Structure 1
Amino acid sequence: MNTRDIVYIALFASLMAILGLFPPFTMPFTGAPITVQSAGAMLAGALLGARCGALSVVLFLVLVALGLPLLAGGQGGFGVFLGPTGGFLLGWAVSAFVIGYLIDKFQDYLNGLSVVAIIAFGGIVVLYGLGNAWVAVAVDISYWQATVASVPFMIGDALKVFAVTGLTLAVRRTYPEGLRA
């Protein structure tokens, strides 16, 4: 890892903190917030690659665990990882890794559609797979019930996928190798 990687890791952790300034929208009846921060994890993976993208999210999550109020709504502290959304928080790092890995693996075949598919897979399928599993455990419901309850959130995440895809393609046009050394 070189200095450039470390700077980008810190920069994207900061970006996730900035995205936390957007107030969360809490869904009625669920109490779970819709935030913009998951887009930061998607973007980190897409632009920094698997390792650096995941590390940027891990750095952000360590700061949250240490008590910094960096999550949307000013949340922070280790306790947020034990609540119903804890699986989604940890899933951000896995999501960034998967997106970065797939972007790198299929780099020679990337176009708008493939980037949408990769970001949707990592940012929705993988993230909700992990997040819903934790919701099911934390709230003591079935995995199916957790998945059904998460459908309204997936609509917002689908919009984030398209926004992140647009940003990713714009950056890749300017920096074809991505934000890598």
Structure 2
Amino acid sequence: MAVLGMVPPITLSFTPVPIVLQTLGVVLAGGILGARLGFMSQATFLLLVAAGLPLLSGGRGGIGVFVGPSAGYLFSYPIVAALLGFLLSRFQVLTLKKILLVNLTAGVFTLYLFGIPVQAFVMDLPLVHTIKISLVYIPGDLMKATVASYLVYKLRKSTVIARQFAKAG
């Protein structure tokens, strides 16, 4: 998450919520670490941010980010990681399609479920207007979910192979 925060945010003229790569890290945390560790990693990350470490994209940090327009997205990080880890653990066989479906539906949807209402509240905008503004994030989030799905699939597949090799050896 900290490394992804080093990538400068893409700011948009019509919204204070930037496009960042850190949502990719949230999806990876849930998919790779699982529900419990994914949640804990994201909660720890947010505690470090709250303590003032400039770990968010653009070098942001401190308690103030949790009352700004992106606060809802930030608060969703541990929940999204836990939800993705939980849902992916329910599959006997994980295919790339299943991982992508979970990342797109549960992951991206949950980020928006928390992020958009908080953004609307903080900016004092109607919810429908904020939803329209947020449509600009969808292409990037679809790409990030796709990349994360591929990485999770490959990493989990290699882990299974390594375990089988270790048992045989």
TM-score (norm 1): 0.86
- 1:56 aligns with 41
Say if 1:144 and 1:109 are closer, same or farther in 2 by CA, change over 3 A.
farther
Aligned ranges for residues 1-20 of structure 1 at < 5 Å? 16-20=1-5
User: For the residues of structure 2 that align with 1:122 and 1:36, how far apart are their CA atoms?
Assistant: 18
SS at 1:71 equivalent: coil
CA distances 1:131-150 after superposition (whole Å, capped 9, x unpaired): 01111211112222221111
Cα deviation, residue 155, structure 1: 1.1
Distance 1:81 1:93 in 2: 14
Equivalent residue for 1:110, pick from 89, 94, 112? 94
168-177 vs 86-95, greater mean Cα deviation? 168-177
Q: What 5-or-longer segments of structure 2 have no aligned partner?
A: 163-169
> CA, structure 1 residues 54+83, in 2 after alignment: closer, same or farther (shift >3 Å)?
same
Report how far residue 86 of structure 1 moved. Answer: 0.3
In the superposition, relative to structure 1, how do residues 177 and 53 fare at CA in structure 2: closer, same or farther (>3 Å)? farther
Q: Are the equivalent residues in 2 in contact too, given 1:115–1:165 (CA < 8 A)?
A: yes
Match of 1:8 in 2: none
Determine the structure 2 residue equivalent to 1:71.
56
How many Å separate the matches in 2 of 1:129 and 1:176? 33
1:175 aligns with 2:155: no
Aligned to 2:13, which of 28, 34, 56?
Answer: 28
Match for 1:20: what amino acid?
A: G
The gaps in structure 1 that reach 5 residues or longer are: 1-15
Partner Cα distance (1:153, 1:118) in 2: 18
Deviation at 1:110, TM superposition (A): 2.0
Q: Which amino acid aligns with 1:149?
A: I
CA distance, structure 1, for counterparts of residue 122 and residue 136 of structure 2? 20
How many residue pairs end up in the alignment? 162
- How far residue 177 of structure 1 moved from its aligned partner, in angstroms, is 9.1
Q: Which contiguous aligned blocks of 4+ residues in structure 1 show a shift greater than 4 angstroms? A: none
Once residues 139 and 125 of structure 2 are traced to their aligned partners in structure 1, the CA distance between those partners, rounded to angstroms, is: 22
Greater CA drift, 140-149 or 48-57? 140-149
DSSP-derived class of the 1:49 partner? helix
Measure, in 1, the Cα distance between the counterparts of 2:83 and 2:131: 20
Q: Is 2:136 the partner of 1:152?
A: yes
Between the aligned partners of 2:115 and 2:161, the Cα distance in structure 1 is 31
Pick closer, same or farther for the CA change 1:177–1:83 going to 2, 3 Å: farther
Larger Rg: 2
State the secondary structure of the residue aligned to 2:53: coil
What TM-score results when the alignment is normalised by the length of structure 2? 0.92
1:88 aligns with 2:73: yes
More deviation in 61-70 or 129-138?
A: 129-138
Percentage identity across aligned positions?
37
